[in-house]
Structure 1
Amino acid sequence: MIRNNIDTIKIGYRNRRFRWIAGTLLLGMLTLSLCASLVLLGNHKYPIGVIIRVLLGEQIQGASFAIRTLRLPRMLAGLLVGIGFGMAGSTFQTILRNPLASPDIIGITAGSSVGAMFCILVLKTSGTIVSVVAVISGLLVAVLIYMLSKVGSFSGGKLILVGMGIQAMLNALISFLMLRASQYDVPAAYRWLSGSLNGMQMTNIPKLFLVLAIFGVVIILLGRHLKILELGEQSAITLGVRTDLTRLLLVISSVALIAFSTAVTGPISFVAFLAGPIATKLVGAGTPNEFPAGLVGAILVLSADLVGQFAFKTRFPVGVITGILGSPYLLLLLIRMHRTGGSV
């Protein structure tokens, strides 16, 4: 009897492992195909041989500018911020055990947006200063949400409600700044708030890659501990997990990914919210899904950018397309939670 149970457990483990590997490989291939599409497609289509020569460093009139200066930075930025949003969103949802616990729902993304809007509309600055202030304000808002949720007794539901309240306040502050701003500054602010890959430069890519390499690796390494935390505090402690330290490292890493990604592209809505649930459906719920969620985030950003560029006569920022995708899912989630008696 015991032998049969052990064999059943082993078969279940192998099946889950196979599903995770197959799903992740599928997501990886889809991500690579979207990356290639963004480099290949544009106002002028270049032969694949020309594109390869340009990527290898050869100077070809017209093609070098279009590929290296316009398409390649846009593709790399979409890939990196998509992975960052996806991993961070999935981590928050797992830690708080609630699908509503996404950084763009609980106010962290709005915190970065307020800092950026203050720089653009009040200080009249751009570039690096906007990015730095957006990162700092996002981190400060995350700390504020955590501290307010600790008043009395801490719970994940309380943190989500506090975050939603903070987000409403920050959105009102953004609206106030927009109303008080000069009409000449408002278009730039709207472009940033919509979440866009327009104007990406190669100078943005190294810092994005460095942040993702540091904090993304931390999240992946702590993935198994994160799954154990889902079992509950006492079970995790019994299994040898240092719960407070693990949770702190995961939260810091997730907030850093969200803040830096938002600082570069603006708030690309609902990517962090959608990536985790989609990845879980594909690779299963019994294995760490932070890396697959990152790939789903990249797929959402890259595919939305392709749709925004080429599917309509008017070009739309990537955040507009992801917003159209995410809003119905949020409504369906709220309706389902209401019907089942769930709560945040």
Structure 2
Amino acid sequence: MSLTLERRETSTAPDAVEVVRRARRAPRVHHRRLVAGLVLALAGAFAVRVLLGDYTVTIPDFVRILGGEQIPGATYIVMESKLPRAVLAVLVGVAFGVGGAIFQTTLRNPLASPDIVGVSLGASAAAVSAIALAGWSGWPVSAAAVLGALGVALLVRAVAGDHGGFRLVLAGIGLAAAMQSVIQYVFTRVDEWDVQLVLRWLTGSVNGVAWTGIGLLAVALAVLLPATAWAARSLAASELGDDAAAGLGVGRARTELLMLLGVLLVAVGVAAAGPVAFVAFLSGPIARALNRGRTTLPAAGLVGAVIVLVGDHVGAYAVADLNLPVGVVTGAFGAPFLLWLLARGPRHGLRGRRAA
């Protein structure tokens, strides 16, 4: 009888091991398929944004233009309008998507996005002040935006202390209101020739950016994204809280570094295109829902890129003879999502980190 039991245990052991392996493999397989699907969706949105619209460009003509051939009318429209807007939309969307997901994941609060806690408005306030009060233009304005975002992030962190959670969100909302007041005051001092430029920093737009600015953003992301991928190896432990992460051997310095990278990603995105509303706020939750409740920074970046691309296309062609900035479109869709999230929060764990 004992021999029979041993045979049964031996025969069932491989089956149990295989079940465990399949269970561990399934999330990875699903994540790969999700990322591949989002890449295809991004490629489709990019093709629509570049090839379609009020001036249609065929694929053979697009390839010829990229090869350097001059096609009257088409070359200028593609290389100076459609293509730079599409490329900038992808880069900005990735920066906002990954940065926003880092905020929400490390702080374990879906409201702790750069839009809500004042980081984006800090960058805008610094940029608008540099334009209107100091008379700056070009890359110094972008540098001021990055410094403004970093300053607000550090101040919010200092006010919230070690508690985080809703205390950090409330501190961010308070500073965001202060930054909005600064922007409104500076707007009254702006020269009439700079009004359009200032409005771009208030709403967010991917229109009118030169290839040099796009190149600078690409270089910044080429540095920040690999650093984020390295620091995000401990992201799953950071989601459990500081105490649990410390018990798993993940120091607080790693979490703080990841937060700093998230701030920098949002800052360079704002410096390039202004505060495109709610992209950082929407991308993380959408990617998490598509990934069956698991955090995924690559998917969040791809979702952000798709949102900005689609939003820019809708803003350009949804209303005849009216070119809306992409920030207006994303804000129109993001505001209801925020209200829905606030309405369902207390019943679905939207409590953030408890104060110690």
Normalising to structure 2: TM-score of the pair? 0.90
Shift of 1:234: 3.4
Report deviation, 1:223: 2.8
Offset, 1:184: 4.1
Kindly indicate whether the alpha-carbon contact (under 8 Å) linking 1:219 and 1:290 is maintained by their aligned counterparts in 2: no
Task: Quote the offset at 1:68 in angstroms.
Answer: 1.3
Deviations 1:11-40 (A, max 9, x none): 222221121111111101000111111211
Identity of aligned residues (%): 38
Q: Distance in 1 between matches of 2:309 and 2:267?
A: 19
Partner of 2:288: 280
**Counterpart residue identity of residue 92, structure 1:** F
Structure 2: how far apart are the matches of 1:321 and 1:110?
18
Greater Rg, structure 1 or structure 2? 2
* Structure 2 residue aligned with 1:9: 20
Q: CA RMSD in A?
A: 1.9
Alignment pair present for 1:302 and 2:309? yes
CA shift for structure 1 position 212: 1.1
Q: In the alignment, is the contact (CA less than 8 A) between 2:65 and 2:75 conserved in 1? A: yes
In structure 1, the partner of 2:128 is 117
Equivalent position to 1:256, from 261, 264, 267: 264
1:340 Cα offset (Å): 5.1
1:22 equivalenced with 2:38 (yes/no): no
* Aligned positions of 1:112-261 closer than 5 A: 112-150=123-161, 153-241=162-250, 243-261=251-269
Deviates more, 1:23-32 or 1:135-144: 135-144
Moved more, 31-40 or 293-302: 31-40
Query: SS in structure 2 opposite 1:222?
Result: helix
Alignment of 1:56-75 (within 5 A): 56-75=67-86
Residue among 302, 306, 331 paired with 1:323: 331
Looking at structure 1, the residues matched to 135 and 207 of structure 2 have their Cα atoms a distance apart, in angstroms, of: 20
- Give 1:138 deviation, angstroms: 1.1
Alignment gaps of 5+ in structure 1: none
Q: How much does 1:7 deviate? A: 4.3
Return the match for 1:55 from 49, 53, 66.
66
2:343 aligns with 335
Q: Residues 301 and 318 of structure 1 are in contact (CA less than 8 Å); yes or no, is this contact kept in structure 2?
A: yes
Matches of 2:151 and 2:206 in 1, distance apart? 25
Distance 1:55 1:42 in 2: 19
Contact 1:116 1:133 in 2 (8 A): yes
- In 2, are the aligned partners of 1:95 and 1:229 still within 8 Å (CA)? yes
Query: Which of 54, 57, 60 in structure 2 is aligned with 1:46?
Result: 57
SS of structure 1 residue aligned to 2:133: helix
Task: Identify the residue that residue 274 of structure 2 maps to in structure 1.
Answer: 266
CA shift digits 1:225-278 (9 cap, x unpaired): 10111123333233332x222112211111111111101111000000000000
Deviates further, 330-339 or 110-119 = 330-339
| Shift of residue 8, structure 1, vs aligned partner | 4.0
> In the TM superposition, what whole-angstrom CA distance separates every residue of 1:120-170 from its partner, at most 9, and x where no partner exists?
2222332212111111111111111111222xx432322111111110111
Number of equivalent positions? 340
Secondary structure of 1:185's counterpart equals helix
TM-score, length basis structure 1: 0.93
Distance 1:341 1:239, change over 3 A: closer
Is the CA contact 2:246–2:252 (under 8 Å) kept in the aligned structure 1? Answer: no
